[in-house]
Amino acid sequence: MRAFFRIAFVLSAIWLLAHPSASQAHAIIVSSSPAAGATVSGDTVAIRLHFNSRIDHARSKLTLLAPNGASRVLTPASDAPADELNADAKLLPAGAWHLRWQVLSVDGHITRGDIPFTVR
């Protein structure tokens, strides 16, 4: 039985070395600003999302949902690093906001999420 596990381990290691992108199938947020649940001051918020892998900026999306339910599409910065999605949200009134993001990683997988934050 131990021989079986050794062979399985060696074959798995060889496969991962031959296909390094297989271990990073999705772009996952490493850090965000604002952070989930954060309270920010002022009416301009710098949006900075850092991912664990490169993303396709042209096919990625940022949408803000206002306290009243209205949505606002943000234009991602074209000069952001390959693993970041950045934008500036201006003229945000006080209240509970949600940042919806969707990215396409360079390996073709789409990931999305929601980051709630409050403007005071």
Residue 62 in any domain: the answer is yes
* Two tokens, residue 80: 């952001």
Residue range(s) defining the domain that contains residue 38: 26-119
pLDDT number for residue 107? 85
Residue 3 in any domain: the answer is no
Residue 16 in any domain: the answer is no
Residue 57 in any domain: the answer is yes
Residue 5 in any domain: the answer is no
User: What are the two backbone dihedrals, phi and then psi, of residue 54, each rounded to the nearest 5 degrees?
Assistant: -65, 150
Residue 78 in any domain: the answer is yes
Enumerate helices (H) and strands (E) in the chain, giving the number of each.
1, 8
pLDDT tens digits along 23-74: 456 899 999 999 999 999 999 999 999 999 999 999 999 999 999 999 999 9
Residue 54 in any domain: the answer is yes
Number of domains in the chain: 1
Q: Which residue has the tokens 């803000």?
A: 64
CATH code for the domain of 42? 2.60.40.1220
Residue 116 has pLDDT above 80, yes or no: yes
pLDDT tens digits along 99-111: 999 999 988 999 9
Q: How confident is the model at residue 3 (pLDDT cuts 50, 70, 90)?
A: low
Residue 30 in any domain: the answer is yes
Report the distance separating Cα 22 and Cα 66, nearest Å.
37
